[in-house]
Structure 1
Amino acid sequence: MKPILKITILTILISYASFAQQGNKASFTISGKVIDQETQQVLEYATIVLENTKTKKITGGITNEKGIFNITALKSTYNITVEFIGFKPYIINNKEVNSAIQLGTIELKVDNNSLDEVEIIAEKSTVEIRLDKKIYNVGKDMTIKGGTASDVLDNVPSVNVDAEGAISLRGNENVRILIDGKPSAMVGLNGTDALRNLPADAIEKVEVITSPSARYDAEGTAGILNIVLRKGKVTGFNGSINTTVGSPQLYGINGNLNYRTKKVNLFSNLGYRHRQGPGNSQSFFTNLDNGTITDFRDEDRVFDRKSNNYNGSLGLEYYINKNSSVTGTFFYRNSKDDDIATNNTVFFDENKNITGVENRIENEKETGENKQYSLNYTNNFKGKGEKLSVDLQYSDDYEKEPALITVDGLLSEQNSQTTSSRNKLVQIDYVLPIGENSQFEIGHKSDLQDLSSDFRVRDGNGQPLATDPSNAIDFKQNIYAFYTQFGSKIKKISYLIGLRTEITDIDLNVITTNQKSDKNYTEWFPTINLGYEINDNDNLTLGFARRLRRPRHWFLNPFESRSSATNVFRGNPDLDPTFTSSYDLGYNKKINKLDIGASLYYQYSTDIIQRIAILEERNINGVLTDVTVRQPSNLNDEKRYGLEFTSNFNASKRVRLSASFNYFKFNTDAFTYVYTAQNGTQVTTRLDAVNESSWFARLNSRITLPAKVQWQTRLMYRGPQKNAQSDRKGMFSANLSFSKDLFKDKATLVFNVSDLFNSRKYESTTYLGGRENPSSIVDGAFQWRERQISLNFTYRFNQKKKRARPNGGYDNGGNEGGGF
């Protein structure tokens, strides 16, 4: 019998038998645990089949994420079969069930002969629910083929990536991004840019953690996004080659190679990517004096970005024995960017007569190098859940950004910025199971960063300006964390309770001005996650976590940007961290082919960090000019609450639909912001109270057309939103893709159009000085990247489009915090 037919018949019979037994009280529980005999890893989704020897009726179930099963059966005699794809079945004949039975740990042996012959048609669920997180599986998503990590995140429920690349979770931009459960050089010095360079095809899944347990860093008031990369799991030599071409100019090649034996797993990822990223922005300034228009200014920017990125990783995992392994990994990236920003500015008087024109061009050539060395030791002890994991990590990041600025065709400035950062990480985690359903954890983490940045500004002749705005900083941030947590399951109730403390030591030294800022504090972060299984198809979750947001070094650095003389950004050395208490209530239900989820959440934050824009009068080339200065500042407290819906509907084998909707509301009190201008005067800005709401929705469909062509469409709309100074318009975008498997499923060809209608633009109106009596009104639009068309081809050798058996060694944090 073909495997797919067998699985289909088994599913129908199990469903029928389970329904028939609901009214029978003479039933007992059969429980146990299923693991891989060779690696001692638990086997999730293993199938347990119970065949009644008298009636020949079949019932059964599957194992959960811990490899544990609990099946209710009527009093009778059964033949019990435990199966998992690629393993030899484990059979117990004529087992009499007249009381609760504990089968203990069942070890399955690999069936090497059948491993490569198995055909799986059923798909793994796109979204998996855990007590403290949701897991989004990337594999079947075609709209991100040939894309980047930013494209992947923008397709994840609850997550948005705006036109500037800023990532938000449930409308909150303070998100902690991890790679394989840890900070990574892949995120680099500028996380937004780095994620645009990480290929989507290197990502296996994304974990959305809105109520993180104590094991995770407290950083990120909105929560954590953990990007889990693909790793080779199949024995022997295997891999894949991925190529992409597109318009605007895009081409790249990426290869994943893996060689695995019983003692060694050698894995690598090599890639090159060239991309042109045209973008644009417009800003129209209406300047006022006590309600009377004084003048106008129109700034039109065009971005011409070219990037060449080389990245590679090489890892070796050695299995000391069946329970322990050592893994060493080296990651390297080299990037070369050539970015030209052309800023055309037109000045008008109060009657819109042109009084001046300026053409300012900034040509920045950036080179960067990122290196990361990682070493992990994992010991699973006797393979019954007890686990010790030790991680050592060192990364060295370097960026050099020389820039030439011309004004009206004449060389005006020769600038350069050199930034280097060295990061060291030590992490120790220990897990101790207590009985079948309880678990104790304890751990420590030291995360040490030493960063220096030197920004030099020179005139066209290479000499310092009269008022030298050059800037150099030394930034040190050391974080020492300790945590413990305990989780258990009592009948239908699961809980995970933890406590984390983090000792933070931040030192900022502005060398050019001898300005120093020291922030030292120790904080406690309790976490509570509760789950209740109403039945097999309904469950409730409740989570609480205290979080914080530490300002990054570029938010603290008081240096001003130079691409525009009249619209600048500068950091604020006096920023304090934001602390947030988050509450999350979730409900998930399965109705036949429909999976739905709903969440109510509430967040209370103190000293929120927000960018404030003020108008400052400066002397530019002998002319008094209004200059917009944007600077982050600590505002009042903020209350944020919302409602989120997600759904997945498998209408048929050919039609699959998913949708998500998020509505959130936030309010802050009125705030008076005092800013010290360059000339020493103080500028006061009144920020009105905010009591606003917004929403965003996403619809995704995947349809199988004739000839097995996969058609996928994604629609996204983000509603309008207001804050203390700005009104942002709504934004709509659409992605479209077609996919076809070739060469007996060894290859896949994908045609993809990102932002089909070229509508992904950030449009807003900003009121400088307050809404009631603004000193300037700015109408702006920004488009980071224009519509992208790409063609992607993937060829797999010694691989099949199926789920392989679990990796026998360390999974680099991909399963963190999901034990209950």
Structure 2
Amino acid sequence: MKFKLFALCAIITGFFAAEAQTPNAKKVRLTGKVIDAETNDPLEYATIVLQSVKNPNNVTGGITDGEGNFNVEANAGVYNIRVEFISYKTYELKEQNLTQNKDMGVVKLALDVAQLDAVEVVSERTTVEVRLDKKIYNVGKDLTTSGGTVSDALNNVPSVTVDIDGAISLRGNENVRILINGKPSAMAGFGSTEALRQLPADAIEKVEVITSPSARYDAEGTAGILNIVLKKEKTLGINGSANLTVGYPNSSQITTNFNYRTDKFNLFNTLGYFYREPPGNGFYDNRYHNNSKFDRIIENRDISRRDKGFNLNIGMEYFLNEQSSITGSFFSRLSDEQDVTDNKTERYINSLVDSRTNRTEDQNEDDKNYQVSLNYINKFNDEGHQLTADLQYSYDNEDVLSKILERQTFPNNTLIASENIYELETQKDYLIQADYVLPMGDAQFEAGYRGDFEKEKTEYQLDTLDQGSNRYITNNDLSNIFDYTENVNAVYTQYGNKTGKFSYLLGLRLENTKLIGKVKTLDGSPIEEIPGVDVDANFDKNYLGLFPTVNLIYELNEYENISIGYNRRINRPRGWFINPFPSRSSRTNVFQGNPDLNPAYANAFDIGYLKRWEKLTFNSSVYYQRETNAFEYIQEETGETTSDGIEIIRSMPINLSTNQRYGFEGSLMYNPSKKVRLNGSFNYFHFNSDGEHNGVDYGASSSSWFARFSSKVTLPAKIDWQTNAFYRGPRENSQTKSDGMFSLDLAFSKDILKENGTITFNVSDLLNTRKRQSYTESYDDNGDLRFTSDNQFQWRERQFNISFIYRFNQPKERNGRGKGNNRNGGDEDMDFQG
């Protein structure tokens, strides 16, 4: 408000000054555009001041519009010209002789660090930004994730759900591609989301939900893409923050951010350490039919964990000149995890307890991730003409030792089995990427290349105790070495334009995928056949595919638009999906990959509608997807039993079916005042699957939905209170039905130390209801019921956290800048870039 009054006063002063001048004086016009020097965002309400050199009391000028443009008329003469915007350094030209119209071109204003602490915050950052191919959610203000992980933060993003196993879904579909800063990264894990449970949520700046990806993005992920953008402070000088969190059950974390920026370079660093002991539990009630030895087995599981780790992200951006820069960064994540699962089992025959056993699995995992990245960018001009190039190398090493001890406790106390499982996985990834952008007026042309090259080696060894000799003997039927290579080369081009109220982005991507797998014994001898299944142990596959994308937006008016998107996507089987050798989590459950898997392909359509009022924003979409050759897990009997007569069940992924999914999602953001912010979202989807395997029909039809609500209220004494509620409706696939699930998070926050510090208390899963409850049925090829499983699993119990963050030379909030500072709480930027 202060700034708008200042701008209004400048206009009024200029008006009266102009009126006081000679009416017949020659008029000249001064034009140009004002932008943020760092983000290139236009600055609305920037002030242009023309002060006469001959008569300093003669002042005229004007302000910029929503696009940062200005057009000021004045009498011909000599002026001192100033371009000013609150919290920015003033741009000044002295003694300019204006005898004819002058175009100042693009004026870049840089932040003035010395003034930032005095700035009055007049608006908060946008909650959502809508682009042609994505929606961008700023998550930095989420109090409920303070001291939490990236997975916690993602679970509060509309359209996204994270189940208790850590699996991430987009619109209910788990085949989602996770990127960090637009690229696959060791930070997110390669094909695994476990690392996201270790990285701090404080490192996130925003999350891009890309349900209709443009051709710039790789075609992997039939559900779409989640791009996690990490913080990198852009303020000049030295600044940073430190965040300390402690919690119950036993949890602690410290994260520091440091940034040093000059006109020549920007040095940034994030350092973190965490220690957690999140307890979990599970219950399984399995019933067997058709002459099984046991007709019922009940399992009670208690899970205790101890996870500790260290992560480091350090880098420097060096500005070669005003147009180009080179950024080098190094990331490392070291973690040491120990999970102990105590499984108490009761076995029944004719409803009577036949035996009781106790199984303890002690799993220790040592995980090391390293990543080196190099980025070059050359901005040929300020209109968006640029070239970027990226090189990236990542190394991941996971060393796992699992010790399993199983004893019978009734009717007698005897040792059943003792096993040691050694798993060593190393993965090397190389990324080469180049992108070229050429603006052509309102249009834009893009082209690029990307190469992803992955080499993975998995060693699996199972040693079983021979009670006769009291020695561990290697099981050569299950032990193996699997070498896997995946190379993806892609080129793309896309063209976007805006004509009046209509914007479009058309793209085409060509991808070639090469998959090579080889299996060996532990001594290096090749393996040609896998016991128990009819698949080739070794494979060499090559796929070539075209992936078109179409994204359209029509602006009904300034605050309302309709969007349409189409894209074709691919789901490639990952390494563990096609590793033909079985591995097992217990003596009775075996997981086996399938090298015969082929990629699944999906065609997706999306129609969106956005409407904004002064304090309310409504965003919605209707979507449809058809996926062919979709692969799913099936559970079936192997025909084998353990030494004590229990049937062994195999889980295996297959190209099972054709899936069709359609749904609707909508979200409301209501900000009735500066002290109250309300957000709600709802997603409904229906799923059809047709397919059969070994004479068994696995077709399924299911509807499900999920909804979330978030409120943030400023209480007296400037205490912020935030509540997040989430409910996921019942769902089912070809074999399993899952019940609905509700969770509630609560947080309170208070600024202290002249707003340089913030203390936050939050509770995750306040009611301790975040549990998966499901029911599974399995039939044989005659259609007879073989077994059922009724189970409940809770990965993490209710968590209490208290955290303290201290900032130095880094204000908590910054005055809204450019398009982000609009009254409707959203940015509808028709940006063609991916």
TM bracket, shorter-chain basis: 0.7 to 0.9
Residues 581-622 of structure 1: per-residue CA shift (max 9 Å, x gap):
111111111112000011011111101121112233422115
Once residues 43 and 647 of structure 2 are traced to their aligned partners in structure 1, the CA distance between those partners, rounded to angstroms, is: 64
Correspondent of 2:707 among 697, 702, 706: 697
CA drift of 1:492 comes to 1.0
Which residue is 2:45 aligned to?
A: 47
Distance 1:285 1:444, change over 3 A: same
Counterpart check, 1:452 vs 2:457:
yes
3-state SS in 1 of match to 2:222: coil
Once residues 802 and 518 of structure 1 are traced to their aligned partners in structure 2, the CA distance between those partners, rounded to angstroms, is: 54
On the 8 A contact 1:256/1:268 being kept in 2, the answer is yes
TM-score, length of structure 2 as denominator length: 0.86
CA drift of 1:633 comes to 1.4
Correspondent of 1:716 among 704, 719, 726: 726
Residues 560-587 of structure 1: per-residue CA shift (max 9 Å, x gap):
3433222332222211111011111111
Which residue is 2:329 aligned to?
A: 329
Once residues 800 and 462 of structure 1 are traced to their aligned partners in structure 2, the CA distance between those partners, rounded to angstroms, is: 64
Once residues 804 and 394 of structure 1 are traced to their aligned partners in structure 2, the CA distance between those partners, rounded to angstroms, is: 38
CA drift of 1:105 comes to 2.8
Once residues 622 and 593 of structure 1 are traced to their aligned partners in structure 2, the CA distance between those partners, rounded to angstroms, is: 67
Which residue is 1:428 aligned to?
A: 434
Once residues 584 and 302 of structure 1 are traced to their aligned partners in structure 2, the CA distance between those partners, rounded to angstroms, is: 43
Which residue is 2:485 aligned to?
A: 476
On the 8 A contact 2:47/2:61 being kept in 1, the answer is no
3-state SS in 2 of match to 1:417: strand
Which residue is 1:533 aligned to?
A: 555
Residues 728-765 of structure 1: per-residue CA shift (max 9 Å, x gap):
11000000000011101101111010001110111111
3-state SS in 1 of match to 2:810: coil
Once residues 678 and 111 of structure 2 are traced to their aligned partners in structure 1, the CA distance between those partners, rounded to angstroms, is: 35
Once residues 113 and 238 of structure 1 are traced to their aligned partners in structure 2, the CA distance between those partners, rounded to angstroms, is: 12
Distance 1:50 1:317, change over 3 A: closer
Which residue is 1:27 aligned to?
A: none
Residues 398-420 of structure 1: per-residue CA shift (max 9 Å, x gap):
11001111111856112210110
Which residue is 1:565 aligned to?
A: 587
Which residue is 2:766 aligned to?
A: 756
Which residue is 1:18 aligned to?
A: none
Report matched runs for 1:751-790 at 5 Å: 751-769=761-779, 773-790=784-801
Report matched runs for 1:94-173 at 5 Å: 104-108=105-109, 110-111=111-112, 114-173=115-174
Once residues 521 and 298 of structure 1 are traced to their aligned partners in structure 2, the CA distance between those partners, rounded to angstroms, is: 45
Counterpart check, 1:673 vs 2:693:
yes
CA drift of 1:805 comes to 10
Once residues 776 and 302 of structure 1 are traced to their aligned partners in structure 2, the CA distance between those partners, rounded to angstroms, is: 24
Counterpart check, 1:6 vs 2:10:
no
Amino acid in structure 2 at the alignment position of 1:474: D
Once residues 10 and 738 of structure 2 are traced to their aligned partners in structure 1, the CA distance between those partners, rounded to angstroms, is: 54
Instruction: Identify unmatched segments of 5+ residues in structure 2.
Output: 12-29, 50-59, 74-80, 95-100, 408-413, 522-526, 529-536, 819-828
Correspondent of 1:636 among 657, 666, 673: 657
Once residues 492 and 84 of structure 1 are traced to their aligned partners in structure 2, the CA distance between those partners, rounded to angstroms, is: 32
Once residues 792 and 679 of structure 2 are traced to their aligned partners in structure 1, the CA distance between those partners, rounded to angstroms, is: 31
Counterpart check, 1:316 vs 2:320:
no
Distance 1:566 1:176, change over 3 A: same
Which residue is 1:500 aligned to?
A: 509
On the 8 A contact 1:607/1:636 being kept in 2, the answer is yes
Amino acid in structure 1 at the alignment position of 2:435: D
Correspondent of 1:88 among 87, 90, 107: 90
Deviates more, 1:453-462 or 1:748-757: 453-462
On the 8 A contact 2:122/2:815 being kept in 1, the answer is no
Deviates more, 1:510-519 or 1:498-507: 510-519
CA drift of 1:634 comes to 1.1
Deviates more, 1:613-622 or 1:739-748: 613-622
Amino acid in structure 1 at the alignment position of 2:664: L
Which residue is 1:296 aligned to?
A: 296
On the 8 A contact 1:360/1:564 being kept in 2, the answer is no
Instruction: Identify unmatched segments of 5+ residues in structure 1.
Output: 15-29, 93-98, 675-683, 808-814
Which residue is 1:627 aligned to?
A: 648
Which residue is 2:666 aligned to?
A: 645
Once residues 113 and 187 of structure 2 are traced to their aligned partners in structure 1, the CA distance between those partners, rounded to angstroms, is: 36
**For the aligned residues, what is the CA RMSD?**
3.3
On the 8 A contact 1:578/1:605 being kept in 2, the answer is yes
3-state SS in 2 of match to 1:650: strand
Amino acid in structure 2 at the alignment position of 1:271: G
CA drift of 1:499 comes to 0.6
On the 8 A contact 1:242/1:795 being kept in 2, the answer is yes
3-state SS in 2 of match to 1:458: strand
On the 8 A contact 2:461/2:475 being kept in 1, the answer is no
Distance 1:614 1:528, change over 3 A: same
CA drift of 1:276 comes to 0.8
Once residues 281 and 543 of structure 1 are traced to their aligned partners in structure 2, the CA distance between those partners, rounded to angstroms, is: 42
3-state SS in 1 of match to 2:473: coil
3-state SS in 2 of match to 1:607: strand
Once residues 46 and 511 of structure 1 are traced to their aligned partners in structure 2, the CA distance between those partners, rounded to angstroms, is: 65
Q: Percent identity?
A: 45
Amino acid in structure 2 at the alignment position of 1:315: G
Distance 1:115 1:137, change over 3 A: same
3-state SS in 2 of match to 1:135: strand
Report matched runs for 1:358-377 at 5 Å: 358-377=357-376
Once residues 665 and 519 of structure 1 are traced to their aligned partners in structure 2, the CA distance between those partners, rounded to angstroms, is: 34
Correspondent of 1:490 among 475, 493, 499: 499
Once residues 699 and 274 of structure 1 are traced to their aligned partners in structure 2, the CA distance between those partners, rounded to angstroms, is: 30
Once residues 182 and 582 of structure 1 are traced to their aligned partners in structure 2, the CA distance between those partners, rounded to angstroms, is: 22
On the 8 A contact 2:83/2:90 being kept in 1, the answer is no
Once residues 182 and 536 of structure 1 are traced to their aligned partners in structure 2, the CA distance between those partners, rounded to angstroms, is: 33
Once residues 50 and 690 of structure 1 are traced to their aligned partners in structure 2, the CA distance between those partners, rounded to angstroms, is: 65
Which residue is 2:66 aligned to?
A: 62
Which residue is 1:380 aligned to?
A: 379
Counterpart check, 1:794 vs 2:805:
yes
On the 8 A contact 1:614/1:685 being kept in 2, the answer is no
CA drift of 1:7 comes to 4.1
CA drift of 1:112 comes to 5.7
Distance 1:723 1:817, change over 3 A: farther
CA drift of 1:46 comes to 3.4
CA drift of 1:638 comes to 1.0
Which residue is 1:219 aligned to?
A: 220
Once residues 60 and 466 of structure 1 are traced to their aligned partners in structure 2, the CA distance between those partners, rounded to angstroms, is: 75
On the 8 A contact 1:85/1:805 being kept in 2, the answer is no
On the 8 A contact 1:393/1:426 being kept in 2, the answer is yes
Distance 1:301 1:294, change over 3 A: closer
On the 8 A contact 2:83/2:92 being kept in 1, the answer is yes
3-state SS in 2 of match to 1:118: coil
3-state SS in 2 of match to 1:573: coil
3-state SS in 2 of match to 1:143: helix
TM-score, length of structure 1 as denominator length: 0.87
3-state SS in 2 of match to 1:802: coil
CA drift of 1:70 comes to 9.8
Once residues 45 and 566 of structure 2 are traced to their aligned partners in structure 1, the CA distance between those partners, rounded to angstroms, is: 34
Which residue is 1:518 aligned to?
A: 540
Which residue is 2:623 aligned to?
A: 601
3-state SS in 2 of match to 1:651: strand
Once residues 8 and 279 of structure 1 are traced to their aligned partners in structure 2, the CA distance between those partners, rounded to angstroms, is: 57
CA drift of 1:59 comes to 8.9
Work out the number of aligned pairs and report it.
765
On the 8 A contact 1:47/1:84 being kept in 2, the answer is no
On the 8 A contact 2:759/2:804 being kept in 1, the answer is yes
Distance 1:690 1:341, change over 3 A: same
Residues 26-45 of structure 1: per-residue CA shift (max 9 Å, x gap):
xxxx99643345x6x51245
CA drift of 1:304 comes to 1.1
